[in-house]
């Protein structure tokens, strides 16, 4: 099924919007690092559950973790921690949908990184789709001349930096998946998901245990919303990795820009945040870029 990667990507984007919203709500209680850790600590049990199900269903052995696969995954896991923390920090100062748009400059960056490190080709039609969608992202995140939410550089810089580090993470996870020797792309993707979550849980748990034990204890006290955010994050990541196993990171992350209008719908209904006309034009360009990508 040539469109399977697109199905996985759209499901992943929807799951990621929900997870970001859940983490945004937890930031007020747990702080940036605590809310970041939620997706990994409470996502790990679900990642291991997914892996157990896939191993049972396929009857295949756990793939051997080569040094190459491990190096890619460690790099990606650490990058994802940093990118998530920057994203949540930006959401403290700017609306949910606009910060999501800042982070989505990732698509252009991931195309460059994919070409440099994985040899993923960037065709003319793909480059055009990325350019159109990225222009849409810039329009969505352009400072408003009036209104209650004035432009400030801090959330813009944090959001764009988050997008760049997310691009590194995307390339790293795709590299890790490709480095596994297994006939099942589902098993490869799920193995890297579980490994990545394990690395992230160990790193952030150790950090909080040493630097901020109260936040670590607070995470467990808020286990109900944290568990939901962990499941949503693990499920979204599972879909991302399945898409990365089938298609280049540039195509996957460009289609993922559909997350911006999804975030706007959620922002309007959950956070009661409004949309400026310029942002509406930007969202239309994002959708147009996605349509061009799918028809390329």
pLDDT per residue as tens digits for the range 30-87? 887 888 898 899 999 999 999 999 999 999 999 999 999 999 999 999 998 888 778 7
pLDDT of 142 reads 62
Contacts 24+ apart (CB under 8 A), 207-216: 207/33, 208/33, 208/34, 208/37, 212/31, 212/33, 212/34, 215/30, 215/31, 215/33, 215/34, 216/34, 216/37
With a cut of 60, say whether residue 156 has pLDDT above it: yes
Residue 144 has pLDDT above 80, yes or no: no
At 170 the pLDDT is 92
What's the token pair of residue 103? 């982070």
Where do the domains of the chain lie?
A: 4-295
Query: Model-level pTM?
Result: 0.82
Least confident of 55-59, 190-194, 280-284: 280-284
Q: Which of 6-15, 32-41, 140-149, 283-292 has the lowest mean pLDDT?
A: 140-149
């Amino acid at each position: 099924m040539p469109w399977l990667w697109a199905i996985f990507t759209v499901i992943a984007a929807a799951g990621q919007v929900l997870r970001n919203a859940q983490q945004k709500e937890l930031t007020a209680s747990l702080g940036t690092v605590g809310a970041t850790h939620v997706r990994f600590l409470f996502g790990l049990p679900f990642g291991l559950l997914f892996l157990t199900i896939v191993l049972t269903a396929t009857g295949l052995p756990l793939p051997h973790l080569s040094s190459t696969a491990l190096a890619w995954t460690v790099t990606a896991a650490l990058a994802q921690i940093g990118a998530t923390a920057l994203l949540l920090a930006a959401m403290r100062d700017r609306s949910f949908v606009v910060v999501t748009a800042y982070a989505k400059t990732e698509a252009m960056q991931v195309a460059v990184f994919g070409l440099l490190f994985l040899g993923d080709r960037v065709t003319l039609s793909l480059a055009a789709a990325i350019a159109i969608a990225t222009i849409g992202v810039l329009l969505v995140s352009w400072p408003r001349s009036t209104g209650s939410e004035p432009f400030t550089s801090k959330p813009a810089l944090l959001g764009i930096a988050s997008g760049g580090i997310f691009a590194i993470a995307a390339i790293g996870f795709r590299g890790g998946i490709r480095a596994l020797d297994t006939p099942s792309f589902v098993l490869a993707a799920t193995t890297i998901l579980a490994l990545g979550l394990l690395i992230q849980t160990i790193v952030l748990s150790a950090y909080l245990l040493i630097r901020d034990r109260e936040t670590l204890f607070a995470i467990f006290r808020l286990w109900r919303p944290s568990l939901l955010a962990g499941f949503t994050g693990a499920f979204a990541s599972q879909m991302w990795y399945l898409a990365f196993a089938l298609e280049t990171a540039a195509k996957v992350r460009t289609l993922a820009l559909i997350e911006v209008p999804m975030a706007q719908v959620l922002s309007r209904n959950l956070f009661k945040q409004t949309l400026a006309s310029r942002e509406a034009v930007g969202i239309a360009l994002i959708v147009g870029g996605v349509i061009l990508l799918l028809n390329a």
